[in-house]
Structure 1
Amino acid sequence: MAQARGRTGRPPLSEERKAEIRLEIARAAVDLFVTQGVAATTGEQIGRAVGISARTVWRYFPTKESCVRPLLTAGAELIADTLRHWRPGHPLPDAFDFEQRAADDDRLLTAPAHATVGALVRLTRTEPGLRAVWLQTYDEAEPAFARALAERAGLPADDLRPAIQAAMFNAALRAAVEHHAWHTADVPADPATARSDLAATLRTALTTAAAGLA
């Protein structure tokens, strides 16, 4: 009886490693987009910057603009988690204390660099393809925000009230992040100062919307 052949070739990548590769591709794509523009950037260049082939880049992302999604979705996941842990009786803006979160949440230590995300957000103002990815990310995040708010309030997931609250929160959040990125383009700052400035901008935006989020 012939002996069964064992599996050959490289072992499959873990989900954690796949996520790391996606983030590496995202950072390389943003660096190239900032340096030479989206139109001049190719899949081959993105892959070369990461040490992989263009074919591998396209295995992870359908378009070069979509390569930036991991930098955006990571933030949306952290925000939804923050909403779930927003303590009753505490103002919503206080939930976004980045200095405290950095001390309590190891995920913030490995989050994309503030300067990288800021550069990406600024590009969405002039690059239609990136703008579409940026807006789509917020559109897809809104149901997660609604579920988090419903869970916190003890309401059914399909209740209208958290859906409306999530829409208000989502709009305030996007406006704050864009305002911060566009108004700090030429102001170099260390990571701690940048987090503090962004937190202050978020507090202003969320305080403005707080009447509908009480």
Structure 2
Amino acid sequence: MTPRSRSVGVTASSASGAGVRTGRPPLTERRKDATRLEIAREAVRLFTERGVQATSGEDIARAAGISPRTLWRYFSAKEQCVRPLLTRELTRVAQRLVELPAGRPLAAVVEDDGAERYDDEDAEGASAVRALIRLTREEPSILAVWLQVHHEAEAVFAGVLAERLGLPADSLDVRVRASMINGALRSASEDWALAEISEADAVSPAHRDTVRRAMRIVTDGLDC
């Protein structure tokens, strides 16, 4: 199966909203993704205002305008509600890795972003992600979700690299490379989120610029 035809999931759970797909997803799935993102944004807002311990799943459901039963259909725990925001950048990079022609270097995954346009929704999403990553410094349960998301993403990166290199996904060469990419993305996001810059300067383009810098550092040492 070629990289272009393969469907890749960044997370193991379909409830996370993080699956990487080729092509445009069906309308029903797009609506589910939109609901997951709305839940995630409300969860971040409440966690930031009240703290995780003082926020219940029922509080998040009420803020998102859905029933608790619907919330638990999407997520297994209140902390998991933030996953769709945490996985967005990982999903984007994984999708680009899948679609990247075999002859192009991995750095091209983030070098083509310059033509992208950023709107109010991008800025709102970037602000929520920034607040969420900052929460990982004081909320261990959110840090656990952040690390879990990256752990799952690493397996996806390994699968893509294995195809490019013609090696088993569990080989040391592939696993080390996947770990380097994964670590670069996590470090870039944390560097961006924790930087002392204004909200106006921290929208999506700033995040993407930091990711580009991190990927350049990594790909300088990757022969693939």
Q: Same fold (TM over 0.5)?
A: yes
Match of 1:207 among 206, 213, 216: 216
Structure 2 runs not aligned, ≥5 long: 1-26
Pairing 1:69-84 to 2, within 5 Å after superposition: 69-84=83-98
Match of 2:163 among 135, 138, 151: 151
Match of 1:25 among 23, 39, 50: 39
Q: 1:195 to 1:60 in 2, by over 3 A?
A: closer
Residues 54-102 of structure 1, C-alpha deviations (whole Å, 9 max, x = no match):
2322222121111101112232221112223345565544421464463
Q: Which residue of structure 2 lines up, in the alignment, with residue 45 of structure 1?
A: 59
TM-fit CA distance, 1:138: 0.2
Answer yes or no: is the 8 Å Cα contact 1:165–1:212 preserved in 2.
no
Distance 1:18 1:44 in 2: 19
Q: 1:118 to 1:132 in 2, by over 3 A?
A: same
Q: Structure 2 length as normaliser, TM-score? A: 0.75
Distance 2:113 2:180 in 1: 25
Give RMSD over aligned pairs. 2.8
Pairing 1:190-201 to 2, within 5 Å after superposition: 194-201=203-210
Which has the larger Rg?
1
Higher deviation after alignment, 14-23 or 166-175: 14-23
Answer yes or no: is the 8 Å Cα contact 1:97–1:199 preserved in 2.
no
Is 1:36 aligned to residue 87 of structure 2?
Answer: no
Q: Which residue of structure 2 lines up, in the alignment, with residue 5 of structure 1?
A: none
Pairing 1:174-189 to 2, within 5 Å after superposition: 174-184=186-196, 186-189=197-200
Distance 1:116 1:160 in 2: 36
Q: Which residue of structure 1 lines up, in the alignment, with residue 24 of structure 2?
A: none
Q: Write the letter of the residue equivalent to 2:182.
A: N
Percent identity reads 47
Pairing 1:107-186 to 2, within 5 Å after superposition: 113-184=125-196, 186=197
Equivalent pairs, count? 195
